[in-house]
Amino acid sequence: MAEPRRPGQVADPDAPGPRLSVADGIDTDADGRPDTIVSDDGVDLILRTDLDGDSYADRVLRIGPDGVAREVGHRTRSPWDDEPEGG
Ligand SMILES: [Ca+2]
């Protein structure tokens, strides 16, 4: 029987991780190339966007049920630079 997982052992969807390709995403700026992956975690809408055109997500935004968008990750160099909450 597997050991129960503790909160620190559960993957954080906002944590830095392998680079995420946006090749299967949507083209939000009509340049003919996909640039954004849209998903949700059951509560928040999550947008992962490629800003520099290399086909890998650079920014992660969460839009909560209150309609407020929060930037929770921004990759300007490796690893991800986390923005302060509400910043
Ligand atoms: Ca990119």
Question: Would 15 be classed as within a structural domain?
Answer: no
Is residue 40 one of the residues assigned to a domain? yes
Q: Is 17 among the domain residues?
A: no
Structural domain boundaries, residue 47: 35-79
For residue 12, what pLDDT is reported? Answer: 60
- What's the 9 CA to ligand 1 centre distance in angstroms? 28
Q: What is the pLDDT of residue 73?
A: 79
* Weakly modelled stretches of the chain, pLDDT under 70: 1, 7-17, 76-87
Cα of 69 vs centre of ligand 1, distance in Å, is 20
Q: Which pLDDT does position 76 carry in this prediction?
A: 59
As residues whose CB is below 5 A from the ion ligand 1, the structure lists: 50, 52, 54, 56, 58
Asked whether residue 60 is assigned to any structural domain, the reply reads: yes
Q: Which long-range contacts (CB under 8 A, 24 or more apart) does 41-47 make?
A: 41/13, 46/13
pLDDT at 2: 75
Q: How many domains does one find in the chain? A: 1
Please tell me the predicted confidence (pLDDT) of residue 86: 44
Instruction: Judge whether 18 lies within some domain.
Output: no
**Per the domain annotation, does 65 fall within a domain?**
yes
**Is 67 part of any domain?**
yes
Residue 19: per-residue pLDDT: 82
- Answer yes or no: is 22 within a domain: no
